[in-house]
Amino acid sequence: MAAVAYAAWLAIGAFGRPYNFFDMKIYHGAVVWWASGHELYEFIAPGTTLGFTYPPFAGLVMLPMAHLPVQAAGLVNALGSLAALAVVLAGLLRPIVDRLGWPLWYTVAIAVPLAAAIEPVRETLGYGQVNVLLFALVMADLIGLRWRSRRGTHTADGDGALLRFVYSGAWAGAGIGLATAVKLTPALFIGYLMITRQWRAAATAVGTAIGVTVGTFAIVGTESRAYWGSVLWQTERVGAADMTPNQSLAGLLARLYDSIETPGLLWLAFAVLMLALGLSRAANAHADGDELTAFTLVGLTANVISPISWTHHLIWVIPAIIVLADAAVRRREASRGLNQRAAQASSYGGPPGVNGLRPPIWYPTLTGLRHGVAAAGLYLLFLVSPIWPYEHQLPEVSHYQDGLFGALMENSLALALIVLVAALPWRPGAEPVFYADRLGRQATLYARR
């Protein structure tokens, strides 16, 4: 475990960039400016053209850090993000390690430094971003849906009302609503919940987002009117579309066209296509009983279609790696079972395997190999992050300065996201969140007969 943590530390030093809480300095400066009586969205960080770009609710959440030095605020954010990451990984890995018989917290202790070493997490921690915390809010709803499908089987009669409520999962959707109120892109999960007819969670998410936003209007009406009426539409406040760290579809197209701006109609056409593809595959994953993959596909789709997806936004590659790795293990386990059944049939004089054919002895080793290679390759891609040696900025330097290979490397993370939306496998029956409701309805119908 210590060796893994040390290797992750070395990897961050080798592949990461110099970090000094750059974004946290902007947030901290903005809330200090705001607390001193100025308008929140009028703040511009010294030496930059950057200001506060989140909704005013995010400003209210960040306001207490105005009483801390900026370095202390950055460290608190980093420690809180790592703690949230550990809890999320425990929730995501729990069904897998229980099946494999591995110790949960030992597995999590190894997984956290491995996750912290890759581009989205190390950028989030180093810049003082909030992506891990938003990721945790959304994943909390996944856990809530899981508990709701089991109808609170974790609780006993002697447990308190609060504990029964928590394990009932009735609150599922609140995390997505809060994340949407802080940053708009998680709203795509609300659309997913509606498409998959998870009406209660969708209503909770919508109610939470609207309630928090309206409440913010009541508290800071001036800032709310400024944001929703003006700041939201000032896309130039965020940065140019072709900047290398923007690994969304819009950034990819801008760089391919060697233009500062994204070709609008082309982006819209491809974005609609990716939206339909991502949500339809997520709905299919949900229907086949794999809610983790469904949530992952929605998160990846949001990264792809958003006009700006900085590399620290790409946190959804973490569950994608988990899904690919688990798919590899499941396929290998299934092939081992096939070989064992064939051997047993042969020992009893029956036909060896399906249609009398016994699988080759090496079959279990190769089964699932492509998923295992994909998981390892995806992890290495986001560990090394090959976009930075080929970073270019118009109009000074063309994005084709280093030829076709350089262009591919500069867009490699965006291309990986598109491939994941199109091809990420799901695991039928791995993590259903609807079976309790469906079985309950079937039992009712049967009783009426």
Select from 340, 398, 394 the least CA-distant residue to 364. 340
Q: What sign does the CA torsion over 99, 105, 107, 111 have? A: positive
Please check whether residue 201 lies inside any domain of the structure.
no
On whether the CB atoms of residues 190 and 202 are closer than 8 A, the answer is: yes
The parent domain of residue 384 ranges over 239-449
According to the model, what pLDDT value does residue 433 have?
86
Provide the domain count of the chain: 1
Single pTM value for the model: 0.89
Alpha helices in 101-159 (DSSP H): 104-117, 119-127, 131-149
Q: Are 343 and 287 in contact (CB under 8 A)?
A: no
18 domain-assigned = no
Each of the 449 residues of the chain gets a pLDDT tens digit; together they read: 889 998 999 999 999 888 889 999 999 999 999 999 999 999 998 888 888 989 999 999 999 999 999 999 999 999 999 999 999 999 999 999 999 999 999 999 999 999 999 999 999 999 999 999 999 999 999 999 988 887 655 555 556 787 777 887 889 999 999 999 999 899 999 999 999 999 999 999 999 999 999 999 999 999 999 999 888 887 666 778 999 999 999 999 999 999 999 999 999 999 999 999 999 999 999 999 999 999 999 999 999 999 999 999 999 999 999 999 999 998 877 766 555 554 555 555 555 555 555 555 554 556 678 899 999 999 999 999 999 999 998 888 999 999 999 999 999 999 999 999 999 999 998 888 875 444 444 444 334 44
Residue at 294 is within a domain: yes
Neighbours of 42 (CB within 10 A): 12
Any domain includes 243: yes
Distances (CA, A) of 333 to 296, 324, 367, 369, 437: 24, 14, 9, 12, 30
> What pLDDT sits at residue 435?
55
Q: Report if residue 393 sits inside a domain.
A: yes
pLDDT score recorded for residue 347: 54
pLDDT at 442: 43
Side-chain-facing half-sphere of 169: CA atoms under 13 Å: 22
Domain membership flag for residue 226: no
Give the C-alpha distances (Å, rounded to integers) separating 60 from 128, 212, 267, 327, 439.
17, 11, 34, 42, 44
In-domain check, residue 313: yes
Q: Is there a domain that residue 338 lies in? A: yes
Q: What is the pLDDT of residue 359?
A: 55
